[in-house]
Chain A
Amino acid sequence: MTKATRDISALQAAAVLVSTIIGVGVLPLPLFAVRAADTGGPLVTLLACICALVGLMFVALLGMRFPDESIIQYSERLIGKWPARAVGLCVIVFFALLTSLTAREFGEVVVTSVLKQTPVEVTVIVMLMLAAISARNTMTTFAYIHFFYVPLLLVPGLLIVALSLKNAEPLNLQPIWGNRPGGMFDGIVTIAALFQGSFVLTIVIPAMRKPAKALVVSLYSILIAGGLYVVIVIAVVSVFGAEETRELLWPTLELAKATSLPANVLERLDGAFLAVWVTAVFTTLLSSYYLTSQSLTQLLRLQEPRIFTFFLVPFVFVIAMVPANIVKMYEAVVNVGRIGLMLTIAYPGLLLLIAVLRKKGGSALGR
């Protein structure tokens, strides 16, 4: 295997994770949270963050033990060649699915709220082509792209939250565990699934200057991205109330619509918010697409990492067009996400356990 250049700093790695996590899921996020436990939505989101953090830490710890390899490669040494390849294929298929669902969800939002005449296929394919072209870059450029966009995602997101809080009512957030917290577990799983793009860490670590920092990186990135998620849910629930949030398909977009810049500079911020959100979707899409194509080359032990970038577009596009309508699509998003947790949390956890028991892999700290 060719040795990759190791020039990604911890800060860049964190930027990759943050901008990957913040993606298409921000729009329906408060709806998922409120469906789980009405006013307990923020708590559900927080617990989901912790759940996602655990999964990401498994990946980081594995990466620190095998600092030169990605999960596709070291899993073969841990659980044997063929079982590892089978699961590896599942991971690749899952991320291909995730990419297509992200693209489709993006297309649905755009066709509903902004470009009503434009066919959804066009929006989806443009976005996929953009991801495919950008995925031809090296890991260094990939990290730069993310690093460049992170401030563009965080600042407007926080600004909208801050501006909307003037209409907030604290009563809407009480009781903090919710009146009917029955669906809490389901909600945690659904929301934790929105963090799955962070699995890209497994291919970032081999390019990191100091892989030993992977654990700190994962902690900070969940803190930032998860923090933004929690803050968004708090803002939406406190402004609209849990019951009204339940009636909105994209509560975060509605929040932007209800928020105005002071002095009536802009009376509704949904246009500005969507512009930012396109960037957020692009970075998420790029990561999952990059992860899919890179992992596929690694699984097939090919030398040229860019070989699959365009090859995958038609497949991903066709899968994206499968759900018949928006309700079916969200059903797919939720179900695929939940199954994916097996691959992005349980599988790395299992691998880590085996690695510890079999004393495989060195410690990155010793390097």
Chain B
Amino acid sequence: MDDNGPRSLKRAARLAARLCPPLLAAALLCGCWDRTEIEDRAIVLGVSIDKARPEEEGEEDPVTHYVKGLGPPASDLIRVGVQIALPGRIPLGPGESGGGSGGNDPQKTVWVLDVVGHSVNDALMNLQQELSAKLFFGHLRVIVISEEMARFGLENVNDYFHRNPEVRRMAWMMVAKGEALALMKASPKLERVPSLYLMTTLDEGIRMGKFPQDYIGIFWSRKSKLGQEGFLPYVELRKNQTLQTQGLALFQGSRMVGATMPLDIAVYMALKGNNPGGYSAFVKVRGTEVMTHVTHRESKTSFEIRNGKPYFKFKAAFELNLEEKINNELNIQDPSVIRDIEESQKKGAVKLIESFLEKTQALGSDVLGLGEYVRAKAPGYWNRNVGTKERWQRMYKEIEYEVHIDMKIRRIGMKAE
């Protein structure tokens, strides 16, 4: 035992010494399955989806299906555009002129490609077939859908982006009036990466009170709810390469059914009590006009079952600033004038709210989620009379409501009268 101890120890040490090099080599030399160099990734910043004409099928490469009739019908053909960040061209800091020769020209920091396919994945596979780098969606910020596509239905689009684990829920999805691909090709001057400009427009819109939070994840959640429909920003590319928010694109399930006016965004936000207030409106008072700006809103929605139907009460309170007068006729120092302005704007607001609700009722698109109130607060009634999304869509058209508004002008700016 005594001689054996040190000897076996020595043998063990020798064995360990022999095992060391192969183990070290194994640890250091083997790669990682998921190693990807950043240059080998095509970082997709924006995606656009348009409906393609059936005649354009010839343009499509049979990458995912080469037997005729195996793929979906030609009527489903779509054109997918992607905006890919060019590695090394994206300026990293504010002071940098952007590496390479790209400089500040937005269109030189990205590469816009478009392909035709039968579904989103089919189109992206066709694109991948002609691209050396692997498409990567981890930084996808903006998905633009053409109005035609949105009216056709977004089931496939939603499914693809929902399923893909790289896509963030904080990306924006928007419906473009006209061609969606044009937004990918736009080159706005404010931001050096075009997709980021589209995103910033909407993100800043939230901060300025121009648009409610409506990221793709929020849209999906709303769309799934039984007593609510989703909506997306409805935008248009203007002649000076800017993005104008035109209103809300109203959905029923996954299909767009209509669009609203820009001021309806304010109505939506008012009924939801979203802050800050960001919209200004003309107010008619004593034969002339003034403009006021909403700074703060508060609202409360309640309902009761009246005659076997939900009856809603909207209460909203606004705080306003007076922003301009059209001429000198009014004396703002007079408290009765202020009262008249409040009164007149109150009437205007009620009219706006009613026309907004009428429009959504006619389309059967409950973007306010009134059905969710019924489902949550009166589950017995809901289970007996509604139960499904389709039945709520029908019932929404028949609901009645009343609106109570309170307007308070708080400030008048730096001018005394």
Contacts and interface: CB of A to CB of B under 8 A. Distances in A.
A244 B221 contact: yes
Interface in B121-179: 162, 165, 168-170
Interface in A236-287: 239-241, 243-244, 246-247, 254, 257-258, 260, 267-268
A39 B165 contact: no
A335 to B, nearest CB: 26
Given A179-B383, A267-B170, A174 B34 contact: no
Interface stretch (B284-292, B350-358, B371-379): B371-379
Given A118-B33, A174-B376, A258 B165 contact: no
B170 A179 contact: no
B220 interface: yes
B231 interface: no
Contact of A247 (B169, B170, B224, B379): B224
Contacts of A122: 33
Interface residues of B, number: 25
A239 B225 CA distance: 12
Contact of A112 (B34, B165, B170, B383): B165
Nearest to A239: B221
A113 B34 contact: no
B226 A243 contact: yes
Nearest to B139: A267
Contacts of A118: 32-34
A241 B162 CA distance: 16
Contacts of A247: 162, 220, 224
Contacts of B220: 244, 247
A2 interface: no
A116 interface: yes
A116 B33 CA distance: 8
A175 B33 contact: no
Given A171-B376, A247-B224, A267 B168 contact: yes
A112 B225 CA distance: 27
Contact of A241 (B165, B170, B221, B383): B221
Contacts of B225: 241, 243-244
Interface in A146-201: 167, 171-175, 179-180
A173 B225 CA distance: 12
Contacts of A39: 376
A244 B220 CA distance: 7
23 contacts: A39-B376, A113-B165, A114-B34, A118-B34, A171-B369, A174-B376, A175-B376, A175-B377, A179-B379, A241-B224, A243-B224, A243-B225, A244-B224, A244-B225, A246-B224, A247-B162, A247-B220, A247-B224, A254-B169, A257-B169, A258-B170, A258-B217, A267-B168
Sorted nearest first, the 7 A-B pairs with minimum C-beta distance are A174-B376, A118-B33, A243-B224, A244-B224, A258-B169, A175-B379, A117-B33
